[in-house]
Structure 1
Amino acid sequence: MRLVLQDLRKSFGEKKVLADVNFQFEKGKIYGLLGRNGAGKTTLFNCLGGEIQADNGTMKLVNESTSRDLEMDDVGYVYSLPMLPEFLTGYEFVRFFIEVNGDVIEGQGNDMDGLFDMIHMSHEDRHKLIKHYSHGMKNKVQMLLFLLIKPTVILLDEPLTSFDVVVASEMKQLLRDMKKDHILIFSTHILQLATDLCDELIILNHGSLTSISPEILTQPDFEEQIIKLLRNENELGMGEENADAGNL
């Protein structure tokens, strides 16, 4: 399964944020999305998640025999600031979520404790009110929801930046375990995290997406090279004459 973006554009007034985005994401990979503040990462995620409508272009899920438009139900969005009902315990909320989505969740609600064990949440914590959860605990619950409903595409907006070392390690392993069944796109400002976790790095700069060549990542000064690419449009080859995504 592939997520294929073709000629995707989005502007806000006179400001062009996405300019002829062309890219293919494959299931079984974690993609690290890099870009400076204001580059359009959130706009891209919002278009993919159906929260805003692109001005132009297509977003399709393609496999060997079929091609169809990406739909909201195909996408799970892990927000940097989790939005969960704080008046419920984690256990109550997940049980409620399973009941409401029973048509797409089959047989996974019979072992609630097993689900929380999978995300390494203690018995005490799973029965606390969500308002008492740390940021990391809330993000764990978000991830558990997507393990249950299994959306084809999962967008992760800076999900690991506020975790302690142990929780971050647990979450990274969880993402590695999930990737075989999903297309994972991971937005982060932390270059070391992206290189450690992701199978492929892409840059969003001047409205277009471009893959970073694997050869760059093997060089001692790869961090400096990537920073240079983020600073310099010409290095990316992403002017209007070459808006298609390619390899650096």
Structure 2
Amino acid sequence: MQLILQDITKAFGEKSVLTGASFTFEKGKIYGLLGRNGAGKTTLFNCLSGELPPDSGAAVVQFGDAEKPLTPEDIGYVFSTPILPEFMTGYEFLKFYIEIHKNIPQTASIDDYFELVGIEPQDRHRLIKGYSHGMKNKVQMLCFLIAKPPIILLDEPLTSFDVVAALEMKNLLRDIKKDHVIIFSTHILQLATDLCDEIVILNGGALSQMDTALLHSKEFEEKIIEILRDPPHQPEAPPAAAASPKSAFSLRGKRR
């Protein structure tokens, strides 16, 4: 399975953020999406997930010889700022989320899922409103484990976790990558070298792949900085220009 991006463009007024982003992502790999602040990483994710319409271009999913347009149902999106129904408890939300995905067989119970990401029994029946940022991100990650989308987008996913939780999440992503295309944006170079199979750079509105041989070399950081220095940094459109996500992961009306 492949996710193929074809000349995706997006502008906010006169400000062009994506200028023809093209790339082919393959199942079984974790891709690190690197770029300067405002380079358009979140805008790209929003265009892929359906939160924002691209101005032009296309994204398709290819299964062998078959090809179809990318749809929101193909995507599991973990937002950098968690978006969850804070009036529900963690347990209530997972129960609800499993129910609306009842067509997808589950191999674990609700408590098993909580155990998987290290949310303690006493916290499972607390209101999500009282959860820390890291706990909310864990709940978001459980959503894609439940819905099993082929493509997972993670926007700065591990920055809110402590050292132990971050290691657990990295191991979880390594365990599931064989069944998914996983793309995560980060500005932490050490995280990219620890976790990624490939590095993709978003610079000047376009995507390019970094030589994999450099990923674990001493020159990695220096090369990244060299690439991102040119062209000059251009700020992304303000958050108000982005569409408001409907809820965590993709709580949309249509289901597979």
**Normalised by the size of structure 2, how large is the TM-score?**
0.87
Matched residue pairs, number? 232
Give, as a single letter, the amino acid of the residue that structure 1 aligns with 2:105: E
Measured in 2, the distance between the counterparts of 1:153 and 1:195 equals 21
How far did residue 108 of structure 1 move? 4.4
Residue 76 of structure 1 is matched in structure 2 by: 76
Counterpart among 212, 226, 235 of residue 214 in structure 1: 212
Residue 164 of structure 1 is matched in structure 2 by: 162
Measured in 1, the distance between the counterparts of 2:112 and 2:212 equals 38
Measured at CA, do residues 213 and 107 of structure 1 come closer, stay the same or move farther in structure 2, by a change above 3 Å?
closer
Q: Is the 8 A contact 1:108 1:148 kept in 2?
A: no
Residue 173 of structure 2 is matched in structure 1 by: 175
Residue 90 of structure 2 is matched in structure 1 by: 90
Measured in 2, the distance between the counterparts of 1:207 and 1:124 equals 45
Residue 195 of structure 1 is matched in structure 2 by: 193
Give, as a single letter, the amino acid of the residue that structure 1 aligns with 2:51: E
Q: What do residues 22-66 of structure 1 show as CA deviations (whole Å, max 9, x unaligned)?
A: 100001111000001111111101110011111111100012120
Moved over 6 A (4+): none
How far did residue 86 of structure 1 move? 1.6
Residue identity over aligned pairs, in percent, reads 60
How far did residue 219 of structure 1 move? 2.9
Give, as a single letter, the amino acid of the residue that structure 1 aligns with 2:25: F
> Any stretches of 5+ residues in structure 1 without a counterpart?
235-248
- Whether 2:199 is the aligned partner of 1:204: answer no
> Any stretches of 5+ residues in structure 2 without a counterpart?
233-256
Residue 36 of structure 2 is matched in structure 1 by: 36
Q: CA RMSD in A?
A: 1.5
Measured at CA, do residues 217 and 112 of structure 1 come closer, stay the same or move farther in structure 2, by a change above 3 Å?
closer
Measured in 2, the distance between the counterparts of 1:215 and 1:175 equals 22
Q: Larger Rg: 1 or 2?
A: 1
Q: What do residues 54-100 of structure 1 show as CA deviations (whole Å, max 9, x unaligned)?
A: 11111000121200000010011101111112222111110111112
**Higher normalized contact order (CA 8 Å, seq sep 6+, divided by chain length):** 2
Please give the secondary structure, in 2, of the residue aligned with 1:142.
helix
Residue 242 of structure 1 is matched in structure 2 by: none
Measured in 1, the distance between the counterparts of 2:141 and 2:203 equals 28
Please give the secondary structure, in 1, of the residue aligned with 2:54.
coil
Residue 137 of structure 2 is matched in structure 1 by: 139
Q: Is the 8 A contact 2:3 2:62 kept in 1?
A: yes
Measured in 2, the distance between the counterparts of 1:186 and 1:20 equals 20
Please give the secondary structure, in 2, of the residue aligned with 1:53.
coil
Measured at CA, do residues 211 and 107 of structure 1 come closer, stay the same or move farther in structure 2, by a change above 3 Å?
closer
Give, as a single letter, the amino acid of the residue that structure 1 aligns with 2:189: L
Counterpart among 98, 117, 120 of residue 118 in structure 2: 120
